[in-house]
Structure 1
Amino acid sequence: MKLKTLTIENFRNFKNTEIKLSNKNIVFGMNDVGKTNLLWSLRFLLDRKIRVMGFSESDFHQKKTTETIKITLEVELKDGDRDSQNIISKVKGSRNSNELNIFYFEVVGKFEASEGIGIPILFWGNNLEKLDEIPQNGNFSTLDKLFNILYIDPTIDLDRVFSGNRRKIFNEKKMSENDVEIYDEISQLTSSMNEKISSMGIIKSFQKELTSEYKQLKDEDVSIELQSEMAIKGFFSDIHPYLKKQGDAILYPTSGDGRKKILAYSLLNYLNKEYDSERITIYLIEEPENSLHRSMQIALSKQLFEYGVYNYFILSTHSAELLYEMDDASLIRVYSKGNTMCSSKLYKVPGNFKFIKKELNAALATALFSNRVLLIEGPSEKVLFEKILTIVKPTYELEGGYLLLVDGIKFKPYYKILKELNIIPIVKTDNDFKSKRGQPNSFDLIGLNRCLELISQDKLDAIEINYSLEERERKVIENKKDIYDREEKKVSKLEKDNIYISRVDLEHDLYTVIPDKMNEVFGSGNPISNMQNKKLINMLKLIDKLSDEECYRIIEASDFKCLKSLVQNI
């Protein structure tokens, strides 16, 4: 079975939203945009414990109870798949159209003023226009035999999970013959212990005194006897989990919140496998990063995305570390533009990036939590732009801006994903040329072409440059300027898509804006060339000397429109 789409209509802050799903899903966005409500929409559909409460007035979008709540889950059924076969066996005649591989589950809520709630009615079928109502017996429906929703909230408590499931875990019916013998032995020991307690001198002495007092009030031939009636009511009621290190006899309490959370997850996994393996379990995991150290978050990411501990899950998070190992997962961005909106994208690590998946994801993951992202090539650009933004717009990150260093991974993987998630990508790159192997006079226009590729435009042909060894650098720079001017229309088109290419490179851009400072720091002979020698070290020297006024001058310059684009609406 494959999760396909979730459609939410008139539920809480969702007016009408369709979300593309996969079996692994990541929900992210700013606080209070509706991530939890998205999870709860599935709970109302598939979790009987939630559904029986009905839809309250506040569950209706903007409390408009005249509108109908409708939550629809589309799944794809596959031949030979156990979960698909489980669904097929339960739904029977509700699969009655040609699209037998597609199936829908739906809950509809219409507000009943007399009841004060919206009564959830369940439907299913593979014809969305004509779904069948699902049979119900009281609060139970056939749907509840199919799905198990396991909601894991951010404050999951180990003690609560453990104590709430003791009877299930330590069911006496599961005891072996040896366990029964131990049980009987404990009962005998309890009787013996009671006899020992009753025979203690302090008790015998008190019995004698109490008998004497009693006979003074009522003269009869009796004595008062005290008897211990200690009983072990539930042998397992005081069992608690501890950690035991290899080679160490000491038991250590599971005191840390992070460790408790991991153990609670382990316990839930065990309970599901042991007692609910027949149903299709969908895990709804809300912000598991709370109380987890960074290393534990990365380890959990590996469990979720690489080892596949859960067949179906929807994870909501603010943690970039939890996304380090993501692959073949739906990215679901929840954001607000007047109305709550969702953009979703099936993310697969490109084949040629598999070996650096963690590096690719680590950079992308942080960018996903932003609204506008400036993609830059190298560390020199990063330190320069950070310096300028710190002076001109120190709150740019708090307001949704981000600098993403592509650092050899290329722009395209990031640009495409951000664009599809309605996160605005901005690109700044050099007008690079690259001579062809074996053809030193033939140059590919790799700078312009990498930009044109981002907007699906045809690449430009290579150019020929005739030069002597002494004039190579000058000739290449002249041709870069000529190409930039000649392709003015293409450059303008790129800028409309927030893609900015230097006329030559970053250092030349800087020299057009702050020539005096460049001459001061790197000498007036050839400051650009001097700066490009040990580029990052020299960039650090430059930014150390930059004044606030020069930072403002740079961001206002036409060669640095990329920075203006990053901060213009934040």
Structure 2
Amino acid sequence: MRIEKVHIKGFRNYDDAVVEFGEKTLVFGPNDSGKTNLLYALRVLFDPNLSAKDFELTASDFNCATNPERVEITATLCDIHEKCLVSVFGGKLKDGRTDISYVCERDGNYAFFAGNEIDGVERVQSRFYIKHLVLEYVDSTRDAARFLKRSQAALLEAARNVRNEDDAHDDEASIRGIQDSLESLNKGISGLHYIADALKSVNDEMVRISALNEGREARLVAGNTDAGKLLDNLQLAYLSDDAPLTFGGEGRSNQLFFSTWLSQRSIRKPVEKVSIVVIEEPEAHLHPQQQRALAKYLSGCIDGQVILTTHSPQVVEQFTSDALVMTGSEGKPTCSGSDLVGEIEALGYRLNPIVAEVFFSRGVFLVEGPSEVVFFRALAEAVGVDLNRENLSILSVDGVGFKPYVFCCKALGIPWVLRTDNDVFKVPKREQYRLAGVMRAYNIAESLGLDSVEPLWSAVKESLVWNGGPAVPVEIVAAVKGLRDALEHAGIFLSDRDLEYDLIASDLRGVLVSYYDAEDSEELYDAMTARKAERMYAFIGKNADELGCLAESGFCEPLSMLKRLVSASPHDD
């Protein structure tokens, strides 16, 4: 059994959204985009720890933008073959499917419904299925220390109950041996002269206080003198070369939390219960390598349906999911389903924590390489665009393969712009050259189905190849201006030639000449493009304050457009 989808209407930041789930689902998105609200909608239907009071929603639970009269949450369950669920749902099943709904009115009255797509749904007596179908929820504010203290006894008791007779008999013999060892240990301690002397006066005073204390004595003992009680009060410790480690580190406590929790699930394994596991932000307090390790671990060690939320690019990279959900912020719709998975998978080897940062961004500026990233980050700061505050990302595609990144942003509903070099390439085996950059930009537009660009392309495509040297003829520059304007309107920006050439031709030229000590344009270009990422980083380190002179130049147009695209998105109240 698994949850196939959930339809949420009027609940918190969800006006009317359908979210699809898989066997292993990863939910991501920026802050305040509704990840926790999505999980709470599922908890209303399936979390046994919620009480009747939790079902009486307050005014703040109703979507403030649409102000609905009711909240509706409907989960569609599929692949229901477990005997306990088939029995409990009975006639409400059809082909292994059923719907469960929760409806709450403004006055707080609520009801649950169940049924199937063919026969319809009917009102039912609360959550009649909750003993057999439960959601195990691990929240982001989990208290690892309290959980470990609470779970230790349960973990030991569960393991004790699943022993076979031989193991239980062996344990009883071992406990008797431990008891004998304890008694011997405590006798040895009492025989130490300084301990005996210290307690003699205590015992003498006890006798003087009451005759009932005669024949008894106070002793210093190592722990509990009863082996059974000693075992019931063990303290969980983590050892390194037999030396106990203090659980002061939140990261290690987080790892131990999941290890203990998963062990409990593994030992108990109730046969008449189906669980859906929901985990919020497992990466808490872990450094990147351990975040990746935990994400990979959680991908494979939990049977059944798992829904996991995250803010971590490392988790996005490593969690093996067959479904993705990106919660929408600022009025954008929540994205899920096979199309989204397909576009993410198309990134293939390109997906890494830097690329995964895009999933949490409000807008993305795609550039060719690291030198562009260094320059445009510095330029943004110089002209007053705070990328971190605006939650914008500048991402290198490490070449000219923009399409997978563009399609990914489009699938996620994330505004994007790009800037690519206006390369001039020689035609093989001919004394001809072509505007490869313009062709590349058009191919991106064509793949996006931008019909407005097509007539402009048809008018100029025959003139993009010319005889002679690499210098672009003036008439070709004029001919493609209309096409370039249309491409920029779509967010596809072309340099005049490339970043370094354009900078040499800009108001920054004097600063470049002084820094590189090269007056001639070609010498200056050669100096800038030799190990260009390193050179750009060093130059920006010394001259970041000088970039303000480019505030009104074409360099800022992609940044300005991205800000407009992001601010034009509808906002929630």
TM class by shorter chain equals: 0.7 to 0.9
Q: CA deviation at 1:92?
A: 2.9
**Of 444, 454, 467, the match for 1:451:** 444
> Which residue of structure 2 lines up, in the alignment, with residue 122 of structure 1?
112
Deviations, residues 463-491 of structure 1 (Å, cap 9, x unaligned): 784656xx3x32xx33xx76564344443
Distance, in Å, in 1 between the alignment partners of 2:448 and 2:309 is 31
Q: Answer 1 or 2: which has greater helix percent.
A: 2
How many residues in Structure 1 have an aligned counterpart in Structure 2? 530
TM-score where L is the length of structure 2: 0.77
Which range moves more in the overlay, 151-160 or 360-369? 151-160
The percentage of counterpart residues that share the same residue type is: 22
Query: 1:523 and 2:516 equivalent?
Result: no
Mapped contact 1:375–1:427 kept (Cα < 8 A): yes
Deviation string, structure 1 residues 150-192 (Cα, Å, up to 9, x no partner) = 3243333144234235135325544511123344566788999
Paired with 1:51 and 1:207, the residues of 2 have a C-alpha distance of 53
Amino acid aligned to 1:429: T
Are the counterparts in 2 of residues 372 and 400 from structure 1 also a CA contact under 8 Å?
yes
Q: Partner letter of residue 421 of structure 1?
A: L
Q: For residue 556 of structure 1, give the secondary structure of its aligned residue in structure 2.
A: coil
**What is the match of residue 397 of structure 1?**
388
Read off the aligned partner of 2:499 and give its amino acid letter: L
Contact 1:203–1:226 (Cα < 8 Å) also in 2: no
Name which of 342, 348, 362 aligns with 2:353. Answer: 362
> Aligned-pair distance for 1:386?
1.8
Q: Does 1:70 align with 2:64?
A: no
User: Partner residue of 1:109?
Assistant: 104
**Does the 8 A contact of 1:513 with 1:553 survive in 2?**
no
User: Aligned AA for 1:316?
Assistant: T
Q: Report the CA distance between 1:46 and its aligned residue.
A: 0.6
SS in 2 for 1:288: coil
Structure 2 residue corresponding to 1:499, chosen from 492, 513, 518: 492
C-alpha spacing 1:192/1:244, structure 2 compared with 1 (3 Å): closer
Asked if the contact 1:6–1:72 (Cα under 8 Å) also holds between the matched residues in 2, the reply is yes
How far does the alpha carbon of each residue in 1:376-417 deviate from its partner, in whole angstroms, 9 at most, with x for none? 001221222122112112522222222111113722222222
1:97-125 deviations in whole A, cap 9, x for unaligned?
xxx365433222346x5xxx544x33333
CA-to-aligned-CA distance 1:200-227 (integer Å, 9 cap, x gap)? 9778756754567x9xxxxxxxx96658
Q: Provide the C-alpha distance between the structure 2 equivalents of 1:249 and 1:290, rounded to a whole number of angstroms.
A: 27
Post-superposition CA distance 1:515-565 (Å, at most 9, x none): 7435665423536743564133554565467575x6344342245411222
Q: CA deviation at 1:135?
A: 5.2
Q: Decide whether aligned partners of structure 1 residues 328 and 411 sit closer, same or farther in structure 2, where only a CA change above 3 A counts.
A: farther
Cross-structure match for 1:238: 233
Q: Against the structure 1 CA distance between its residues 192 and 379, is the aligned structure 2 distance closer, same or farther, given a 3 Å change threshold?
A: closer
Task: Name the CA distance, whole Å, in 1 between partners of 2:539 and 2:372.
Answer: 12
Q: Does 1:91 align with 2:93?
A: no
Could you tell which deviates more after superposition, 417-426 or 184-193? 184-193
Deviations 1:53-88 (A, max 9, x none): 33242563168998222212234428xxx66x7644
Aligned residues of 2:425 and 2:435 also touching (Cα < 8 A): yes
Partner amino acid, structure 1, of 2:334: C
Contact persistence 2:57–2:104 (CA under 8 A): no
Aligned residue number for residue 145 of structure 1:
132
Contact 1:432 1:448 (C-alpha < 8 Å) held by counterparts? no
- Quote the residue 1:563 is aligned against: 559
Change in 2 beyond 3 A, CA 1:303/1:167:
closer
Contact persistence 2:424–2:433 (CA under 8 A): no
The 1:526/1:416 distance shift into structure 2, 3 A limit, reads: same
The one-letter code of the counterpart of 1:71 is I
Q: Which segment is superposed worse, 414-423 or 503-512?
A: 503-512
Q: Is the 8 A contact 2:13 2:34 kept in 1?
A: yes
Does the CA-based 8 Å contact 2:28-2:326 persist in structure 1? yes
Counterparts of 1:139-288 in structure 2 under 5 Å? 141-171=128-158, 172-174=160-162, 176-183=168-175, 205=204, 209-210=208-209, 226=216, 234-245=229-240, 248-276=241-269, 278=271, 279-288=273-282
> CA 1:25–1:432 in structure 2 vs 1: closer, same or farther (change >3 Å)?
farther
Report deviation, 1:297. 1.0
Q: Quick one: distance in 1 between partners of 2:404 and 2:263?
A: 38
Residue 528 to residue 19, structure 1, CA distance change in 2 (3 Å): farther
How far residue 261 of structure 1 moved from its aligned partner, in angstroms, is: 0.8
Q: Which has the higher contact order (CA 8 A, sep 6+)?
A: 2
1:292 to partner: Cα distance:
1.3
SS at match of 1:163: helix
1:265 to partner: Cα distance:
0.3
CA distance in 2, matches of 1:415, 1:502: 18
Deviation at 1:374, TM superposition (A): 0.5
Equivalent in the alignment of 1:218: none
After superposition, residues 369-518 of structure 1 pair within 5 angstroms as 369-393=360-384, 395-408=386-399, 410-435=401-426, 441=432, 443=434, 445=436, 446-456=439-449, 465=465, 467=467, 471=469, 473-474=470-471, 477-478=472-473, 485-514=478-507, 516-517=509-510
Distance 1:61 1:320 in 2: 31
TM-score, normalising length from structure 1?
A: 0.78
**CA distance, structure 2, for counterparts of residue 441 and residue 304 of structure 1:** 57
Instruction: State whether structure 2 residue 542 is matched by structure 1 residue 551.
Output: no
Q: Distance in 2 between matches of 1:165 and 1:69?
A: 40
Tell me, yes or no, if the aligned pair for 1:363 and 1:405 is still in contact at 8 Å. Answer: no
Counterpart of 1:160 in structure 2: which amino acid?
Answer: F
Q: CA, structure 1 residues 201+189, in 2 after alignment: closer, same or farther (shift >3 Å)?
A: farther
Shift of 1:262: 0.5
**Shift of residue 273 of structure 1?**
2.2
Q: Which residue of 2 aligns with 1:219?
A: none
Contact 2:424–2:434 (CA under 8 A) maintained in structure 1: yes
CA distance in 2, matches of 1:256, 1:559: 46
Contact 1:507 1:528 in 2 (8 A): no
Instruction: From the superposition, tell whether residues 351 and 343 of structure 1 become closer, same or farther in structure 2 (CA, over 3 Å).
Output: closer
Conservation of the 8 A alpha-carbon contact between 1:44 and 1:51: no
